[in-house]
Structure 1
């Protein structure tokens, strides 16, 4: 690729293909693969990513909200789409665009069953979410009879029953995770016995795929792993980050001892220094937490710490010991220089937050 001439997010589809192949290699032949493409496919480009994954014969997609599923349908995606957190206000559109809801409490269950009946649906696929310890969304174990009694007299069919591991990446919490898995088995055994057919069962996220093969069941849900992060250094080494965030040097300044840089004079130079101003800021997804020396960028293979406060549209970095010039390319994260994990960790956050924060005003460039 030519050097960046503006702020861009490069998305490497070859890396995505590698990650899918690696993660699928951990599964049994008949285990289905669901790709999580919520939040603009973790900050990349949901429609482009989904179109590419559809070519790879992915079995299912998942999004958080109905409008995300609608965007995929409008882009031509025909693969089944599970909506993980539908709201009652959007259920009519959900049916209109052939999306499949997660039903997680009495309110959303009743609302959807009533709507499906009113719209003369028959065997509409739904997914029942049970809470086994994450305590975020889902019916409880003692809700099985209630849920199934409602389903039996409705125009829907259970496509899957699922839950979510709370700490699958933390092997210090293995006992807790195994307890979740056993509870899920108990719940699903009851459900299958009572409804007389077997829906798909799924529980594992990326870390679950890697750490709990006994819980792969009929399908796994992969999010962060698709995008190149495995929640451990060992597993991340087997994956390839698909996104590289690049920008350029707009201007270089020579700073005298005692001079300040940026708003509120947050940086004051203790000696003669050189700074570079870059056209990227917190409106682009580089939060203020990366300012004042916590975050850094890479210029010509050398680290340059972010100094002062992150501005809305710009950051300033210290290049006193970096050989560079105006117009040079800058790597914020990605490629061979800096992972999003390393940058996020430096500021006390996680890669998920960093990569999903990249603004839609940042130009996306696909590498095929």
Structure 2
């Protein structure tokens, strides 16, 4: 672990390697592994994570938008990159950078096919996304005939994969729904495969799907949150290691007397003598106002210190009464001492939101 004198997000690439190998142990050796590195690799560093995954042997990467894929290409990443939310305005840029679009509607499919024709492409890899119950993006069973007819006599594009997305794979109370999604995807994908002269890959499982439904791994699996150390359930979290640790320091210590207030709008008024510490991070760094007023807490020398008063843009104040510490001492906001899951849960949100919300102004440091 690094010793710092400022707010940093420490990215442990050894933890990423551990998580990658753990998740791979859940699938067949021949099953391909796609690492999801969208949203700055879940708030960490998409380039550093992508390079590590490439070195570990991952076969694919995925991003949400074209600009994310372009950044990876500019950094020298050679792996195939799936763009999950392909948009017409960036199709030419996508082709220029050898990024592979998810085609999720008739309009998007037709538009990309036209672009591929206009740019003289041949066998350009594309992915067909099917909606099986998440109802977010995706083609339906009713679109199969349209897609197959559109592919007749066409050599500008080639279907690299057929895929769908599970809606509740982490919730075993929704097992029947998940099974119905898998069955629907099997029906749809089999219908498409039966009409093609080649065999695209199929993939459906996310992190929780890998853990709970390995029988549906098909040709490839996709993992996002699991790579970063969170398995959506306590038993799996114990087997994974958080990649990101958010650290800061104590800028100043105050002694607060009874009836004195702390922070904006006097949101905290002390009824006893207290000792508080001011830390150099706030809602501009991703620690939102919902964590204020004793909802969230940080870790000071192994002891939890609640956030008091309103979270400021660049600072938070915490109650360190009874904790032996001094100005300049290190503070852990989340990591192994207090997981991002624990902090997020305190504010009734999810790990994904906390991790991806960490501002790009927070310095990234690396362990490998």
TM interval, short-chain normalised: over 0.9
Residue matched to 1:261:
262
Give the Cα separation in 2 of the matches to 1:148 and 1:265: 64
Give the Cα separation in 1 of the matches to 2:220 and 2:211: 14
Give the Cα separation in 1 of the matches to 2:152 and 2:112: 14
Residue matched to 1:354:
354
Q: RMSD of aligned C-alpha atoms?
A: 0.7
Give unpaired runs (5+ residues) of structure 1. none
Residue matched to 1:241:
242
Residue matched to 1:145:
145
Residue matched to 1:78:
78
Residue matched to 1:14:
14
Give the Cα separation in 1 of the matches to 2:133 and 2:139: 11
Residue matched to 1:4:
4
Alignment of 1:90-105 (within 5 A): 90-105=90-105
Give the Cα separation in 2 of the matches to 1:152 and 1:41: 38
How far does the alpha carbon of each residue in 1:140-171 deviate from its partner, in whole angstroms, 9 at most, with x for none? Answer: 11111111211234310100000000000000
- Residue 193 of structure 1 deviates from its aligned partner by 0.7
Residue matched to 1:31:
31
Question: TM-score scaled to structure 1, two decimals?
Answer: 0.99
How far does the alpha carbon of each residue in 1:80-99 deviate from its partner, in whole angstroms, 9 at most, with x for none? Answer: 00000011111110000000
How far does the alpha carbon of each residue in 1:277-312 deviate from its partner, in whole angstroms, 9 at most, with x for none? Answer: 000000000011100110000001110000011000
C-alpha change, 1:157 and 1:2, in structure 2 (3 Å) is closer
Residue matched to 1:332:
333
Residue matched to 1:204:
205
- Residue 74 of structure 1 deviates from its aligned partner by 0.2
How far does the alpha carbon of each residue in 1:40-78 deviate from its partner, in whole angstroms, 9 at most, with x for none? Answer: 000000001101111111100000000000000000000
- Residue 197 of structure 1 deviates from its aligned partner by 2.0
- Residue 321 of structure 1 deviates from its aligned partner by 1.8
CA contact (8 A) 2:84 2:101 kept: yes
- Residue 2 of structure 1 deviates from its aligned partner by 4.2
CA contact (8 A) 1:152 1:195 kept: no
Alignment of 1:257-336 (within 5 A): 257-335=258-336
CA contact (8 A) 2:106 2:143 kept: no
- Residue 196 of structure 1 deviates from its aligned partner by 2.5
Give the Cα separation in 2 of the matches to 1:334 and 1:189: 43
Give the Cα separation in 1 of the matches to 2:269 and 2:260: 6
How far does the alpha carbon of each residue in 1:8-28 deviate from its partner, in whole angstroms, 9 at most, with x for none? Answer: 011111110000000000001
Residue matched to 2:163:
162
How far does the alpha carbon of each residue in 1:90-133 deviate from its partner, in whole angstroms, 9 at most, with x for none? Answer: 11100000000000012211110000000010010000000000
How far does the alpha carbon of each residue in 1:226-276 deviate from its partner, in whole angstroms, 9 at most, with x for none? Answer: 000000000111100011000000000111100111011000001111110
2:184 corresponds to 1:183 = yes
Give the Cα separation in 2 of the matches to 1:287 and 1:269: 22
Q: List structure 1 segments (4+ residues) > 3 angstroms apart after TM superposition.
A: none
Give the Cα separation in 2 of the matches to 1:152 and 1:197: 13
Alignment of 1:116-135 (within 5 A): 116-135=116-135
Give the Cα separation in 1 of the matches to 2:178 and 2:16: 28
Q: Secondary structure at the match of 1:349?
A: coil
- Residue 323 of structure 1 deviates from its aligned partner by 1.1
Give the Cα separation in 1 of the matches to 2:94 and 2:153: 21
Give the Cα separation in 1 of the matches to 2:14 and 2:343: 23
Q: Secondary structure at the match of 2:174?
A: helix
